[in-house]
Amino acid sequence: MGKPMADYVKLPELEEYKEWFKDFADLYREDGILQVTWKTLDGPMHHSGMSHRAISQLVRVLSLDYKNEIIIFTHIGDHWMTESDPNGWETYSELPTQRFQHQYFDDTNLIKNMVFDLDVPTIGAIPGSGFHWDSAMLSDITICSEDTWMEVPHAHGGLVPGDGMGLMAQHYFGTKRGNYYMMTARQWTAQQMLDWGMVSEVVPKDQVMARAWEIARMWKTMPYENRTIMSNLAKRPLKKLLVEDLKLHTVSEQYGSLLRIAAGDMGDRNAAQQDEKYISQTNDWRYTFPHMQQAPTRESWAAFRTEPIEWFKKVEAGEAVNPCDPTRPVKPYRPDGE
């Protein structure tokens, strides 16, 4: 038997690329099942231009490693992403090139890489409330805890909700319901997500990851080729949706932001459009109180800019407890308690 003229290209192995992304994700693989746990350093993921980019970059790298046969996407701790890096948007604000790259490339890649790059079955495992739930909801199936609340928050801060979350709300909820939740920033619950087709299962708190691994191991009993082909069928509706509408959505958000920058009314809480770092500071409040699950009014929208500030003052004074406290020690889940 002859020898090929050139060998396969050597691509990075898990031990190598897990080091590349160690500030943003914990990677653990067992029997071909890869668990991706989003984080920032040793705590919950803090939304930033850097984490935004790392998510899409990691997904692309994962697609090149054929040893990743099934992938679970989750978040460290008992919430999804709730925090923001207040200094993590400096390069994002640089015009024109840096902001263009973040909004034109990163915003799009964060969504499309999940369904166009990954050929294997994927599971989204949501341990609790949070925002930027893209990777979980774009997975082939999605599991969430019974106490999960979520929303499309953009409009509250004056942004065009075009980063893909509004598009997914329209897709999963139906046009009218999706439009309503996209345009009002009203929250929805785990049960509503199940009833409206956004998640596959709702499970008791602290059982999300065990259930995700149970399903992944169940899939492992199928032939590798067949479960991979099955995943392609699962992704097909989203692929068609993203080809039709994703870029229009992401560019619309970018255009709206550039208009506000040109008009000089984008910035702090008093601006017509709040900068990302200011909007994200209120997340802990949004996932502590159920106010945003009610039908919104002009008054409730106005309160969004004041009530979280007053609550944070009480938290800092020791008069209230923040259940999303990002300083609490957290560890990535390991199956079988490893």
Residues with Cβ within 8 Å of 223's Cβ and at least 6 positions away in sequence, in order, are none
Give the pLDDT of residue 94: 85
Q: Which of 337, 273, 268 is nearest to 309 (CA)?
A: 268
The values of phi and psi at residue 225, to 5°, are -65, -40
Axis-axis angle for helices 175-184, 165-173 (nearest 10): 150
CB atoms within 10 A of CB 187: 21
Q: Tell me if residue 121 falls in helix, strand or coil.
A: coil
Report the alpha-carbon distance of residue 194 to residue 213 in Å, rounded.
Answer: 20
Report the alpha-carbon distance of residue 280 to residue 46 in Å, rounded.
Answer: 9
| CA triple 285-253-235, angle to 5 deg | 90
Q: Which of 17, 21, 27, 61 is nearest to 332 (CA)?
A: 27
Give the pLDDT of residue 275: 78
Return the CATH fold of 12-315.
2-enoyl-CoA Hydratase; Chain A, domain 1 (3.90.226)
Give the pLDDT of residue 276: 74
Measure the N-to-C terminal CA separation of the chain; round to a whole number of Å: 45
Give the pLDDT of residue 142: 98
Report the alpha-carbon distance of residue 282 to residue 86 in Å, rounded.
Answer: 12
Written as one string, the DSSP assignment of 165-234 is: HHHHHHHHH-HHHHHHHHHH---EEHHHHHHHTS-SEEE-TT-HHHHHHHHHHHHHTS-HHHHHHHHHHH
Give the pLDDT of residue 331: 96
Structure tokens at 162: 């075009």
Measured in whole angstroms, the distance separating CA 67 from the mean position of its chain's CA atoms is: 24
User: Are the CB atoms for 256 and 158 separated by under 8 Å?
Assistant: no
Report the alpha-carbon distance of residue 201 to residue 219 in Å, rounded.
Answer: 16
Residues with Cβ within 8 Å of 264's Cβ and at least 6 positions away in sequence, in order, are none
Type of residue numbered 100? F
Give the pLDDT of residue 267: 81
Report the alpha-carbon distance of residue 25 to residue 35 in Å, rounded.
Answer: 10
Q: Does residue 44 have a cis bond before it (omega within 30 degrees)?
A: no
User: Are the CB atoms for 311 and 320 separated by under 8 Å?
Assistant: yes
Q: What is the pLDDT along the chain (338 residues), one digit of tens a residue?
A: 799 999 999 999 999 999 999 999 999 999 999 999 999 999 999 999 999 999 999 999 999 999 999 999 999 999 999 999 988 988 777 889 998 999 899 999 999 999 999 999 999 999 999 999 999 999 999 999 999 999 999 998 899 999 999 999 999 999 999 999 999 999 999 999 999 999 999 999 999 999 999 999 999 999 999 999 999 999 999 999 999 999 999 999 999 999 999 999 988 778 888 877 766 668 899 999 998 999 999 999 888 888 988 998 999 999 999 999 999 999 999 998 76
Q: Which of 331, 329, 334, 124 is nearest to 210 (CA)?
A: 334
